Structure 1
């Protein structure tokens, strides 16, 4: 049995409506860590089984990710483990683009029978390697969901169609992080102005010389 590493940076999923065709939904999958791609490559037969050591550890090599993303087996895997339905009808999936699976991910497009305001996305990527894997998913208008082996399906409102909110590996919104930083800077600026005003109003009294 191949030992997996499900406790590092989580895989992510982004759900969004196509900008030009309201019947098309994009699902972008990114793997959490490069060694997860090694495990997936062994599972798909892209990488040799002898990369698994006797203690269950996996020998990772720098070009493993490139081999996995360029192999046709990846597209088949994604279409087997990611599915979209709209109003109970399946949407037809196609792996549209595959980039660096850690940085850019794979874009899977799903064409539904007609335009819809909500879709149900099922995702079970990597849970066939280990049930502890989780997927942090984001959708239009700030929606979020955590997929797991016990909760592999979720219905997303496509709303205004705006894209998913960017998240960090810890799952915190990048926009919220930036807002927190700017808020802290503004608070320091205001505090500095108040302190300067107080000093102007109450000049320090010189200490008399004995």
Structure 2
């Protein structure tokens, strides 16, 4: 199908190897596997707290991240990009201050234009349950702005699938790293504003592409139907 071929071509064009410069060097990233996820929720007992749970997509991405943070040996990622994940990788990252600092740098929350203070809960099972961060804001939270940049610092092709209250959805990318989420009254009834705009933009882009393809095909058929004259 034309669209599948176009998508594959764009994916191949976006892939690249991260070049090692200095130590610790970023490892080659693998952004085209399962996407990482974040779940954004409120705390009924603490109206000023927003919880974000981050979970890696592929276990080899934990290895890549661990190498980039200097927590795992560089030889765990070969020059051709092959990654050798071990069960101990998650255990090495989970309790480390470097990993907690990385999450707090790459995942931020703001309410009413003021940043909220995050605290990472040491994960019991980083590989399968992810890591949770509690953000305490200056007052009860209604609408929050959540920025997610995890792994896109290694490769901008990474994506993050996000969920919020009432089934709200958004996709974080290197170019769309901030979304608004409604957590207070009425938040369960609608998508976050930026998520809805993003979905509409994607749908509009697909429709425009389909129309362009149909116009090209119609033009070619018309040219083929014109008889040749001498």
Normalising by the smaller structure, the TM-score range is 0.7 to 0.9
Which of 86, 100, 110 is residue 135 of structure 2 equivalent to? 110
**Which residue in the other structure is 2:155 paired with?**
130
- For structure 1, list consecutive stretches of 5 or more residues without a partner in the other structure: 163-210
- Residue 58 (structure 1) aligns with: 83
1:20 to 45, 48, 55: 45
Partner of 2:123: 98
Which is further off, 149-158 or 61-70?
A: 61-70
Shift of 1:144: 0.4
Higher relative contact order (CA 8 A, sep 6+): 1
Q: If each structure's helix is expressed as a fraction of its own residues, which one has the higher value?
A: 2
Question: Does structure 1 residue 11 correspond to structure 2 residue 11?
Answer: no
Match of 1:40 among 48, 57, 65: 65
2:94·2:122 contact (CA, 8 Å) conserved in 1?
no
Equivalenced residue count is 162
Q: Which residue of 1 aligns with 2:114?
A: 89
CA distance in 2, matches of 1:103, 1:59: 18
Deviation string 1:87-115 (CA, Å, 9 cap, x unpaired) is: 10110111024132232111100000000
Kindly report the root-mean-square deviation, in angstroms, between the aligned alpha carbons of the 2 structures: 1.4
* Unmatched runs of 5 consecutive residues or more in structure 2: 1-18, 20-26, 189-230
- Contact kept, 8 Å, 2:40 with 2:163, in 1: the verdict is yes
TM-score by length of 2: 0.67
More displaced stretch, 113-122 vs 47-56: 47-56
TM-score (norm 1): 0.73
